[in-house]
Chains A and B, each alone.
Chain A
């Protein structure tokens, strides 16, 4: 099964993710929180990177900036050679739709939609014809091992199955990059191991993955680990 493999493109030597001196400050009441303090980071195409560190170190903030759902206070963020840190909401939404796949800790599937419809949701937004998106969603569910669960609603699926549906959804529009925020955080060890294995297969098939995790197993499965502390990358930034 080679469904998620990227369409072969002309070799691009540039990193797929490139952050330069990125800062992100929040207002928390009267206080100013410096979530990221000058992060510089590159992720190469086809890489599998795990961002690790203690809670509150800025991992998720970093992932949000890479995922273009947040904007830095200063610094630059490039994804696939394109500046994304100053995009308008409309541009950022469109960029996320076609270039980034998200996997969340709590799966966040639409409860009323079937597994197949959940996977087809980003394709519907991208105006993929109905028949094509149905076919492709079925292929993706088969890829994550859920071809027999197409018509099931999330409430009828186990945690591991829901996360696999979420991964299939993340791959719907053939993204350049898959971002995962604690994807095994809600799963038991056995199911977590299945997801880790799925990520490895995904990466082996050519998908670039950046994952934020406390799960050592998941972090160890990555090709590269980036350690963060107090809003800074302390190890593995290059």
Chain B
């Protein structure tokens, strides 16, 4: 009966209730977006790291992976040391560089060149790209590229490309040039959508870069044995190989957390403001409703309806508005998050796999729980007013009115 009466009270002023529900929905959408934003980048970064299955990354001492052009010398020696640790299952050294690929038209006339990032990898243990089609870099003269680079080159799978690792603009000459066959398409998980990327075998890239980069790597990616503690392996590596910084997923996320702390605070403040606005909206509507129906409430009390039940009915009204608003708001929030994510993810240089707004069921439950809790809280003041109405006085006022 209380549910019926609460529902009745809301239905009686349909337009007003609808507007309040929409208001709460907007606040709920904002809240959900802020909850998603507060954790989105961190979670998508974590998912990105975890998805490739590597537990540790070794960068030149004091740097983050690909943070600088610094490289780690002595790949063979380091690999040999790493193999002494039984907890290490796979080692994937990666060498990063830039390449220049001249473009020629059908008549063979030069039309400038295209620059791109290139990774020298071992295709059997690499964790930098998802192979899409064609063939992987199984031979020394093979290159795979992402779609963006292939489009820029106007190339096709099977084309031979003249790839150089150096270009002197003064003399307009290329260095470290080599003919490579475009064997396949790949999606580079750490690359941005508008960033050219390619991969060749590491030894190919070393050979193209000359003696200075022989036996060098920009990064090692390491997979540990199932059940082994990556942090213990990290400590072991830093003890035995002092020239590297070993970064576990947990450390990387902690560093990202530190860099994103202002971002999260902003999301938290905006989320709190949304919640408060929703709370005020519901409180106002339910208070107005109680004031309008003070006569009815007094009659209910007169015929023996307890204060507790009046409170329940009024709180139910607040919760119903909040719940309906939250449900609509969740849909609205997801739609706006998708739209905003598309805009923000298009920022130059951001990895494609990084999302600003990441939907997680826990975020939706958190937003829903916060809104329902605020609906209950919003009902408390008007419920207290309703339950405290002096019955005789309210009836007298109602009769005079």
Contacts and interface: CB of A to CB of B under 8 A. Distances in A.
B230 interface: no
Contacts of A122: 303-305
Contacts of A64: 391-392, 395
A143 B51 CA distance: 75
Contacts, number: 81
Contacts of B11: 112
B296 interface: yes
B385 interface: no
> What is the size category of the interface that chain B forms with chain A?
20 to 34
Contacts of A173: 304
B399 A93 contact: no
B4 A69 contact: no
Given A111-B8, A112-B5, A112-B11, A97 B398 contact: no
B392 A70 contact: yes
Contacts of A170: 303
Contacts of B7: 112
Contacts of A70: 390-392
B303 A105 contact: no
Given A110-B296, A111-B12, A97 B304 contact: yes
Given A64-B392, A110-B296, A111-B8, A69 B305 contact: no
Nearest to A69: B391
B45 to A, nearest CB: 52
Contacts of B23: none
A221 interface: no
B302 A102 contact: yes
A94 B306 CA distance: 8
Contacts of B399: 105-106
A169 interface: yes
Given A93-B307, A97-B304, A102-B303, A108 B295 contact: yes
A169 to B, nearest CB: 7
Interface string B277-308: 00000000000000000011001111111110
Interface string A76-112: 0000000000000110011011101110111010111
B1 interface: yes
Nearest to B390: A70
B172 to A, nearest CB: 85
A104 B303 CA distance: 11
Contacts of B9: 112
Contacts of B1: 117, 120-121, 124-125
A67 interface: yes
B309 interface: yes
A93 B390 CA distance: 13
Given A108-B295, A110-B5, A93 B12 contact: no
A177 to B, nearest CB: 13
A114 B399 CA distance: 23
Given A111-B12, A112-B8, A125-B309, A96 B303 contact: yes
A126 interface: yes
B400 to A, nearest CB: 11
Given A60-B396, A111-B8, A112-B8, A125 B296 contact: no
B309 A112 contact: no
A113 interface: yes
A121 B304 CA distance: 10
Contacts of A61: 392
B391 A125 contact: no
A158 B130 CA distance: 77
Contacts of B306: 90, 93-94, 125
A106 B296 CA distance: 11
Contacts of B304: 93-94, 96-98, 100, 122, 125-126, 173
A100 B1 CA distance: 21
Contacts of A60: 396
Contacts of A169: 303
Contacts of B309: 125
Given A64-B392, A106-B398, A125-B309, A97 B303 contact: yes
A112 B392 contact: no
Contacts of A113: 4-5, 8
B195 to A, nearest CB: 62
A126 to B, nearest CB: 7
B320 to A, nearest CB: 14
A105 to B, nearest CB: 7
A108 B299 contact: yes
Given A96-B302, A102-B302, A112 B12 contact: yes
Contacts of A108: 295-296, 299
Interface string A132-153: 0000000000000000000000
Interface string B367-391: 0000000000000000000000011
Contacts of A94: 304, 306
A121 B391 contact: no
Interface in A20-79: 60-61, 64, 67, 69-70
A100 B300 CA distance: 13
The 6 A-B residue pairs with the shortest CB-CB distance in the complex, in nearest-first order: A97-B304, A112-B8, A70-B392, A108-B299, A69-B391, A64-B392
16 contacts: A61-B392, A67-B302, A69-B301, A69-B302, A102-B302, A105-B399, A106-B398, A110-B300, A111-B12, A112-B7, A113-B4, A113-B8, A117-B1, A121-B1, A122-B305, A125-B303
Given A93-B307, A96-B303, 13 more contacts: A61-B392, A64-B395, A69-B302, A70-B391, A93-B301, A105-B399, A110-B8, A111-B12, A112-B7, A122-B303, A124-B1, A125-B306, A169-B303
Interface of A: 60-61, 64, 67, 69-70, 89-90, 93-94, 96-98, 100-102, 104-106, 108, 110-113, 117, 120-122, 124-126, 169-170, 173
